[in-house]
Amino acid sequence: METKQLIDQLQSLKTGLFGKDFLLTWEKSENDLRMILGIAQILKQFRDTNISPKLFDSGLAVSNFRDKSTRTRFSFASAANLLGLEVQDLDEEKSQIAHGETFRETANMISFLTDFIGIRDDLFLGEGNKYMREVGEALDDGFAEGVLPHRPGIVNLQCDMDHPTQSLSDLLHLKNTYGSLENLKGKKIVMSWAYSPSYGKPLSVPQGIIALMTRFGMDVTLAHPKGYDLIPEIVDIAKQNASKSGSLFRIKNNMASAFEGADIVYPKSWAPYYIMEERTNLLQSGDKTGLDELEIRALAENAKHKDWECDAEKMKLTKDGNALYMHCLPADITGVSCKRGEVEDDVFEKYRIRTYLEAGYKPYIIAAMMVASRFENPADVLNRILERGKKRVG
């Protein structure tokens, strides 16, 4: 579809995104989500057609990664740069936070000329999303008291509950793969646990997938060995969403059975909910011995389920034996990145480029969150960019 048509479609969407943080997809309306997807698609078309979408002459986008990252870190930087902002990374070990400065003080000190703050905080169950909200409250206070000329928007770059920039990138990938959001209705997607030689992977990706895809009418199967549960409240959200959209939500404890007839499979390791609860308590208390013992127990439990691998035999069980494979990356690839892992080498290689394309939507999703938060009428802003027609190169 032409860019002008896509922009015109956004004009009719009434959203609540302006001036708001983006923390959890299930807090946003369907119109909100459609707006983010639409803006992202348009920004990608601008880039593809060499149109510069710079909206800021100056300003900072601060990234605060409290856990490791490659794709999301560079996607945040790319999104900010796409819109004309400069990125500054907050390294807590090199800041006064390491000397005891409070998050309330830090949030204001880094925000005098800042438009957005991106935060990844997924290590502590029950704490990551809470921390983002506490930062938001500190910014509200600074803005209300006249310390800050503008209240920076917060973008959740992964927390303990959700990974919205990932799940919305995945949704845009599916929308473009199948032609429209409407074409996703009735498609079966399997969000499956898969074996990994590590134990502490966050729950936020599978939780984000089951909570988001059920909203758009997809039949979602959550598959995992017994005991590898997600946060119960978020599983309930997925059930409620499926009921509202007229789709199906199932939980299965057999990977092969779950794969039967699937249109899309998403095999990804995560730590059991109860393990992450225990891990959080040990991390917060600084109990290194307890953490070492927990790792031994968790890895031993993982090792009982090495057959939970996305291999050629299981892929044959999917619809026409040709389901779309998805992954947030990096995948644990058997014989490549580890001895035994989430996915067989040949299966991953078949879909490798498509997973790269899937990942490539994330900078645009993040930039779309920024645009929707900063500008009350994104469609008008995008129209002005199109009419301006400024070339990015040449």
Whether 367 and 348 map to the same domain: the answer is no
Within a domain: residue 394?
no
Q: Which pLDDT value is given to residue 192?
A: 98
| pTM of structure | 0.97
343 has which bridge partners?
Answer: 310, 333
Q: Which of 15-29, 219-233, 269-283 has the lowest mean pLDDT?
A: 269-283
* Whether the predicted pLDDT of 97 surpasses 80: no
Q: What is the pLDDT of residues 245-263, one digit of tens each?
A: 999 999 999 999 999 999 9
Rounded to whole angstroms, how far apart are CA atoms 275 and 286? 16
Q: Are 206 and 278 in a shared domain?
A: yes
Q: How confident is the model at residue 341, as a pLDDT?
A: 97
Q: 198 and 269 in one domain?
A: yes
Q: What is the pLDDT of residue 161?
A: 98
Residues 217 and 95 occupy one common structural domain: no
Q: What is the mean pLDDT of the chain?
A: 96
pLDDT in the model for residue 112: 97
Q: What is the pLDDT of residues 10-35, one digit of tens each?
A: 999 999 999 999 999 999 999 999 99
Asked if residue 298 has pLDDT above 90, the reply is yes
Whether residue 393 is contained in a domain is answered as: no
Looking up residue 88, the CATH number of its domain turns out to be 3.40.50.1370
Does residue 174 sit in the same domain as residue 316?
A: yes
pLDDT per residue over 315-357, tens digit each? Answer: 999 999 999 999 999 999 999 999 999 999 999 999 999 999 9
Write down the pLDDT at residue 234: 98
Residues 152 and 56 in one domain: yes
**DSSP per-residue codes, 7-42:** HHHHHT---S-TT--B--GGGS-HHHHHHHHHHHHH
Are 206 and 103 contained in the same domain? Answer: no
Q: pLDDT tens-digit profile of 25-72?
A: 999 999 999 999 999 999 999 999 999 999 999 999 999 999 899 999
Quote the domain boundaries for residue 299.
Answer: 164-359
Confidence of residue 103 (pLDDT cuts 50, 70, 90): confident
Residue 67 lies in a domain: yes
- Quick one: 87 and 222 in the same domain? no
- Three-state DSSP state, 393: coil
Residues 261 and 368 in one domain: no
Asked if residues 127 and 91 have their Cβ atoms less than 8 Å apart, the reply is no
Count of domains forming the chain: 2
Report which DSSP code applies to 218. -
Q: Is the pLDDT of residue 95 over 80?
A: no
Q: Answer yes or no: are the C-beta atoms of 270 and 229 closer than 8 Å.
A: no
Q: Are residues 77 and 150 in the same domain?
A: yes
